[in-house]
Structure 1
Amino acid sequence: MDAARANRSIGESIVLPAEFDDAVVWAAWLYYVDQLTQSDIAKMIGVSRATIVNFLQEARERGLVSIRINTEVGSRTGIARRLKDKFGLDGALVIPAADTTPLVQRLGEAGARLLADMVQEGDTIGVAWGQTVLAVADYISLPEPLAGLTVVQVSGSSIGNPDFSPEFCTSLMSNRIHARCVNLLAPALLSTPALKRQLLAEPVLVKQFELIHSANMILFGVGDIGPQTLMRSANIANQEEIDLYEANGAVAVLICRFIDADGNPVTGELDDRMVGIELNELAQVPRRLCVAGGAFKVPAIRATLKGGFATHLVTDIATAEMLLE
């Protein structure tokens, strides 16, 4: 279609700027270069939005526009789809290879983007703890305010690593998205099972756990079982207690709960004293966003995915490739 036909085809008179010889070229420029919306372009040119859609389609057919996908982006998209297929995920986001920015920081930024896309009005969002969860909370912002949001702490508190403690992660997240904040008013580990039963019978904690169980979305990371695991450094349990779980086959820690390589729970004496969401309760949350990466965490992440504890995953490309091996 030549310029005269492009202008006559809509039955309207279009006054073209001097630098454009037909309306199709003008519309394509405004859309792909100036990045205006189709509605804004329609108003500027003086035609309907449907006409702009036709113009953009014609621009591609005439070769005026060539859309190319970066090979790295295409590769990461393909890997993300393979992760979804292999582990039955609803969504996966794979970030590029490492640059000078720390991996935890880059995972946090990507996790924040995906979480912001997932959040809906009225959601109750369970938040775990750890460096990666804190990074997500630190980066998140919503494109527009959403009413009725609640952020609830799903794990008891500890005195170790206050920089990314459960209560701090929850408070930061709620502040960033302007949500109601509910912290869990109990330690992560109590001295006896009897004390746990007694404490959880308190009315205030009964109500808090009702809120945890009503969460329709949860954000969590994955811990390995090695010497640098957060479970050890946070002093939630002593080294001998954690070593016993490892000896019984644990390879990963999910919100202070242990699982083996196939994603099955590994239980022990700590479970009877631990305060927080349990693995069967985690699996009941409709939308479960796991943000984790790094070669040393691959066995733990794989176990988490095999156990079906995540519906959405954010990881890096090197980790993703190892998960697919």
Structure 2
Amino acid sequence: MSSSERAPQSDAAPAAAQPKAPFKGPAELVLVSTVARRFYLDGRSKVEIADEFGISRFKVARALETARDHGIVRISIRVPARIDPDLSDRLRAAFGLQRAIVVDGSEDPAQTHRQLGSVAADLLAEVVEDGDVLGLAWGRTVNAVGAELTRLARCTTVQLGGVVSHRTYGEDASEGSVESVQRAAQLSGGPAYPVYAPLILPDATTARALRGDPGIAGALERFDRLTKAVVSIGGWDEQSSTVYACLDARARAHLSGAGVRAEISAQLFDSAGTRVHSELDERVLAITDAQLARVPDVIAVAGGPGKSEAIGVVLRSGLISTLVTDAATATELLG
């Protein structure tokens, strides 16, 4: 469980770590977890929690301390990102979007990703409604969205593609797509449909076999029921693509020659925003561009240095209705 409350942290050197006593048993574990949920997620006061469980306020405080000590609750500082309303509206109008949200961004790309994730998480809390089917794709910014979520209406959460290893894609990824889906489901109280399989398989036969697996099929068959989807946008290079680093040099060269300049969930596009098809299509476990085109609200969360070309490509594809990006990228797109 991750706390929705944010507390300042001291710069003082931490005291020597004390060994943490294990829980007495499952009953204590359940009590501590439930008390933490009531306080951090439901916003209940210590007095209300004490009355509900018939315990003292001192025991409530001790349970919250225990939850923090054992990692049941993680407290971090969340600095709200500043939104530029004027730039947001200009970007929306220029590309005919339903929404555009532009944050100031930072000189540190990792900080920009966190800001984009924070704002997109707040957007989901605002627009997701009870009964929605929400799809989450893989990508550093989408994973940042999952990490920043603090509340969500009751919905079904679906993973939009298989897993890409962090070692392949970059060591700074905050968490994976499976964790993001599970976290969203935990917050919303709705069902989760993760995909416990790689995004790219070695051959089409393996991919077909995995598509028939009951657990994976449960996620794939919900792609056509999505009401909202959150995606990242990748360029065509080793740093920003989920696909590029997974392919050998020959496959990369072939796709580069075919004009690939951007991707969403292993769906590749040329500079005009036109889908580029190849044998790779049969080897990926991911939502297709045709399925994305039928989703009423596709929210792209993308930004940072070097992303403007790829974002422009995807804007030209017509697949996204909402863009969350940073000011520097928005300015390049409008320029």
Question: How far did 1:174 drift?
Answer: 2.4
Residue by residue, what CA displacement relative to the aligned partner does 1:284-306 show, whole Å, maximum 9, x if unpaired?
A: 11111101112301010001111
The aligned amino acid for 2:319 is F
Q: Which residue of 2 aligns with 1:40?
A: none
* In the alignment, structure 1 residue 112 sits paired with structure 2 residue 118: no
Which has the larger displacement, 238-247 or 213-222? 238-247
Distance 1:135 1:289 in 2: 14
* In the alignment, structure 1 residue 288 sits paired with structure 2 residue 295: no
Structure 2 counterpart of 1:88, from 82, 96, 104: 96
Question: How far did 1:274 drift?
Answer: 1.0
Structure 2 counterpart of 1:179, from 172, 185, 190: 190
Answer yes or no: is the 8 Å Cα contact 2:241–2:263 preserved in 1. Answer: no
Q: Which residue of 2 aligns with 1:146?
A: 153
Matches within 5 A, 1:162-241: 164-231=175-242, 236-241=246-251
Distance 1:295 1:160 in 2: 20
Identity among equivalent positions (%) equals 28
Question: How far did 1:226 drift?
Answer: 1.8
Q: Which residue of 2 aligns with 1:22?
A: none
Q: Which residue of 2 aligns with 1:315?
A: 325
* In the alignment, structure 1 residue 133 sits paired with structure 2 residue 142: yes
Distance 1:274 1:97 in 2: 33
Distance 1:176 1:99 in 2: 32
Distance 2:268 2:307 in 1: 14
Matched pairs, number: 248
1:199 to 1:272, Cα distance in 2 relative to 1, 3 A: same
Distance 1:169 1:241 in 2: 30
TM-score by length of 1: 0.70
Answer yes or no: is the 8 Å Cα contact 1:223–1:300 preserved in 2. Answer: yes
Structure 1 counterpart of 2:106, from 98, 101, 119: 98
TM-score by length of 2: 0.68
1:232 to 1:185, Cα distance in 2 relative to 1, 3 A: closer
Distance 1:282 1:248 in 2: 22
Answer yes or no: is the 8 Å Cα contact 2:105–2:111 preserved in 1. Answer: no
Answer yes or no: is the 8 Å Cα contact 2:97–2:321 preserved in 1. Answer: yes
Residue by residue, what CA displacement relative to the aligned partner does 1:238-278 show, whole Å, maximum 9, x if unpaired?
A: 34323321221111111111111121111212111111101
The aligned amino acid for 1:226 is D
Distance 2:160 2:203 in 1: 20
Distance 2:101 2:166 in 1: 31
The aligned amino acid for 1:197 is R
1:285 to 1:245, Cα distance in 2 relative to 1, 3 A: same
Q: Give the structure with higher Rg (CA).
A: 1
Question: How far did 1:165 drift?
Answer: 2.9
Distance 2:248 2:156 in 1: 33
Aligned-partner SS, 2:222: helix
Answer yes or no: is the 8 Å Cα contact 1:108–1:133 preserved in 2. Answer: yes
Structure 2 unpaired stretches of 5+: 1-81, 168-172
Question: How far did 1:195 drift?
Answer: 3.2
Residue by residue, what CA displacement relative to the aligned partner does 1:102-132 show, whole Å, maximum 9, x if unpaired?
A: 1111111111111211110111110011211
Distance 1:126 1:277 in 2: 10
1:120 to 1:268, Cα distance in 2 relative to 1, 3 A: same
* In the alignment, structure 1 residue 269 sits paired with structure 2 residue 279: yes
Answer yes or no: is the 8 Å Cα contact 1:113–1:140 preserved in 2. Answer: yes
Residue by residue, what CA displacement relative to the aligned partner does 1:201-245 show, whole Å, maximum 9, x if unpaired?
A: 445444322212211110111111123124258x53334323321
Distance 1:105 1:217 in 2: 21
Q: Which residue of 2 aligns with 1:123?
A: 132
Answer yes or no: is the 8 Å Cα contact 1:140–1:177 preserved in 2. Answer: no
Structure 1 unpaired stretches of 5+: 1-71
Answer yes or no: is the 8 Å Cα contact 1:97–1:316 preserved in 2. Answer: yes
CA RMSD of aligned residues (A): 2.3
Answer yes or no: is the 8 Å Cα contact 2:138–2:163 preserved in 1. Answer: no
Answer yes or no: is the 8 Å Cα contact 2:136–2:158 preserved in 1. Answer: yes
Distance 2:178 2:246 in 1: 15
Aligned-partner SS, 1:155: coil
Answer yes or no: is the 8 Å Cα contact 2:100–2:324 preserved in 1. Answer: yes
Answer yes or no: is the 8 Å Cα contact 2:308–2:332 preserved in 1. Answer: yes
